[in-house]
Structure 1
Amino acid sequence: MDRHSAAAAILDRLRTLGSEHNRQGMARFGINVERACGVSMAVLRPLAREHRRDHALAIALWDTQAHEARILACMVEDPRQAGPEQLGRWVEDLDSWDVTDQFCNKLVVKTPYAWELAVAWAAREAEFVRRAGFSLMAQLAVHDKAAPDAAFLPFLEFVVAYATDGRNFVKKAVNWALRQIGKRNAVLRGRAVATARRLLELDSKTARWVARDALRELEGT
């Protein structure tokens, strides 16, 4: 079976496994369900294990445009074969926060391009591209154990630059990046707290929300 036929068979399986009840539940969490089957991550994980590290299948799954198929594509893709051009095409297709975060967590953070793409995408205006940038910053703070503290300081400047973006899925990602950087260690906690206090001085309700929510976690205030 060629990869496009395999992707079509998987999509048929997803449609069988999905439900309208699940779609409605997803929608309540702000997920775009226009092309969703209503399949949970608990169902997708064993499916991904059946097709691990299959680059051609990942491409074919993504091209179906189905919501869960795109999440599955991120889970089965081989990060060694996902080049910057492909990642650039995929980030342009993002239309829901959950696919965005799975794209960053399951795929992009495992590639050699994660650091450069985090700052490049954060600076872009498109809502889910910008979210991807800050989601990726949060993922790097969690997963790149070898990175020096200094590598995260430019990310904090991006937090300041874009904390005034009032779009819900962006401001939550900016906040997430700030919190995860601060939780990395005591030194970065201090820098993240200082960044949050800078945000409190801005004439922006969004920036102040980002700051206060981060400070509640980082300082317990």
Structure 2
Amino acid sequence: MPTTPANVRLATALIAELRAAGDPRNVAGQQRFGIRTSDEQLGCSMPLLRGLAKAHRRNQPLALALWEQPVHEARILAALTADPSQFTPKLMDSWITGFDSWDVCDQTCMNVFRHTPHAFGRVRAWSNREPEFERRAAFALLATLGVHAKKEPDQTFLDFLPLIATAATDERNFVKKAVNWALRQIGKRRSPPLHAAALQLAEELAASPSPSARWIGRDAVRELRSRFPKP
């Protein structure tokens, strides 16, 4: 579904609202939390973005118009207004090339990608990507599916543990944090076999010669040993 002139105008108007509401102090705070992007940062809060998005849910042409703007908050607003049913694997692949901050990556995975029928396939497809935030997208999406894909069989997640083991040696901060997140969420599903498999992998990683894998493993071991799945 292509964008339209009317939605381009609406996107421009919404970005003007964002600029008016932005706060440079919030930009500084975002940067302290590792949100540094080549796009323009306005310093708008998530409650503000969610409020603006409410009137434009599932407006795919608007989301496409917003995504094309080099404005950090416009990209997040795009994720909040997009229609997941309109996303093909090709479009998902295109959007991840625009990720250059962890929050845009994670918001898009949580609000758009996890709702598509292509989600698990994209995890596998992106897990070997070289750019940091493209690879992060694989594991942020897997972590999100670990929380929300409640009817998915255990085997689906067991099959992803080797990808976690491989990616655990990636020393880049935003990759290793997403890999850790995915491992913990798989281990916290309401499944004793998944918990056991995730904990075993975490223990193996904790003994790895790789600093990144050790950090991932030790952190996951702490959480998985203290939070057993409820029967």
Tell whether the structures are fold-level matches, with TM greater than 0.5: yes
Tell me by how many angstroms 1:19 deviates. 0.6
Q: Secondary structure at the match of 1:80?
A: helix
CA distance in 2, matches of 1:82, 1:47: 22
Amino acid at match of 1:47: L
Indicate whether 1:22 and 2:35 are aligned: no
Indicate whether 1:205 and 2:219 are aligned: no
Q: Give the length in aligned residue pairs.
A: 221
Aligned counterpart for 2:12 among listed residues 5, 8, 15: 8
CA distance in 2, matches of 1:60, 1:211: 41
Q: Secondary structure at the match of 1:2?
A: helix
Q: 1:31-46 alignment to 2 at 5 Å? A: 31-34=35-38, 35-46=40-51
Aligned counterpart for 2:119 among listed residues 109, 114, 121: 114
Tell me by how many angstroms 1:126 deviates. 1.1
Indicate whether 1:104 and 2:109 are aligned: yes
Q: Secondary structure at the match of 2:84?
A: coil
Aligned counterpart for 2:195 among listed residues 184, 189, 206: 189
CA distance in 1, matches of 2:43, 2:62: 21
Aligned counterpart for 1:83 among listed residues 82, 88, 109: 88
CA distance in 1, matches of 2:128, 2:157: 16
Tell me by how many angstroms 1:193 deviates. 0.4
CA distance in 2, matches of 1:16, 1:82: 31
Indicate whether 1:155 and 2:160 are aligned: yes
Q: Secondary structure at the match of 1:65?
A: coil
CA distance in 1, matches of 2:189, 2:18: 37
Tell me by how many angstroms 1:55 deviates. 0.6
Indicate whether 1:167 and 2:172 are aligned: yes
Contact residue 67 and residue 74 of structure 2 kept, 8 A: yes
Indicate whether 1:219 and 2:225 are aligned: yes
Tell me by how many angstroms 1:88 deviates. 0.9
CA distance in 2, matches of 1:30, 1:201: 28
Amino acid at match of 1:46: G
Contact residue 37 and residue 100 of structure 2 kept, 8 A: no
Contact residue 164 and residue 207 of structure 1 kept, 8 A: yes
Which 5+ residue runs of structure 2 have no aligned equivalent? none
CA distance in 1, matches of 2:170, 2:69: 31
Q: Which residue of 1 aligns with 2:75?
A: 70
Amino acid at match of 1:20: P
Amino acid at match of 1:131: R
Amino acid at match of 1:134: F
Amino acid at match of 2:82: E
Amino acid at match of 2:117: P
TM-score by length of 2: 0.93
Contact residue 181 and residue 189 of structure 1 kept, 8 A: yes
CA distance in 2, matches of 1:44, 1:53: 15
CA distance in 2, matches of 1:152, 1:33: 32
Tell me by how many angstroms 1:33 deviates. 4.5
Tell me by how many angstroms 1:162 deviates. 0.9
Contact residue 23 and residue 37 of structure 1 kept, 8 A: yes
